[in-house]
C-alpha cells in the first residue's frame, strides 16, 4: 500500500490497515530508522491497567477514587 507524507510531516495509515489492526485515533507509535529511506512504525502499548484507572477516575461519586503516587515497599513496616 502507498501513502503520502503531508507538508506537516504527517503520514496517513490506510483505512484497510487501521481496520485490520484496530488502530484508533490517539494511539501512539514509535518510529525507528532502519536504514536510509527505510523506517518502521511500532505501536506502543498503553500502560497496563490504564483502562481500569480511567474507569475508576470516571466514578460519578467525586472523591471516591483518588490516584496516588507509587511508593517503595522499603518504607513499609511489616513487623507484628
Q: What is the pTM of this model?
A: 0.50
- Residue 3 corresponds to which cell in the numbers above? 501513502
3-state secondary structure of 29: strand
List the domain boundaries for the chain.
1-66
Q: Is the pLDDT of residue 68 over 90?
A: no
Architecture of domain 1-66: Ribbon (2.10)
pLDDT per residue as tens digits for the range 3-39: 889 999 999 999 999 898 888 888 889 999 999 999 9
The neighbouring-strand residues paired with 43 are 29
What is the DSSP secondary-structure string of 58-80? T-SSTTSS-------GGG-----
Q: Is the pLDDT of residue 47 over 90?
A: no
Q: Decide: 39 and 32 in contact? Cβ < 8 Å.
A: yes
Amino acid at each position: 500500500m502507498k501513502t503520502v507524507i503531508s507538508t506537516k510531516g504527517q503520514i496517513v495509515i490506510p483505512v484497510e490497515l487501521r481496520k485490520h489492526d484496530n488502530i484508533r485515533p490517539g494511539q501512539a507509535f514509535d518510529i525507528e530508522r532502519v536504514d536510509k529511506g527505510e523506517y518502521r512504525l511500532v505501536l506502543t502499548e498503553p500502560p497496563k491497567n490504564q483502562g481500569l484507572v480511567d474507569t475508576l477516575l470516571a466514578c460519578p461519586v467525586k472523591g471516591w477514587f483518588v490516584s496516588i503516587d507509587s511508593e517503595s515497599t522499603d518504607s513499609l513496616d511489616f513487623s507484628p
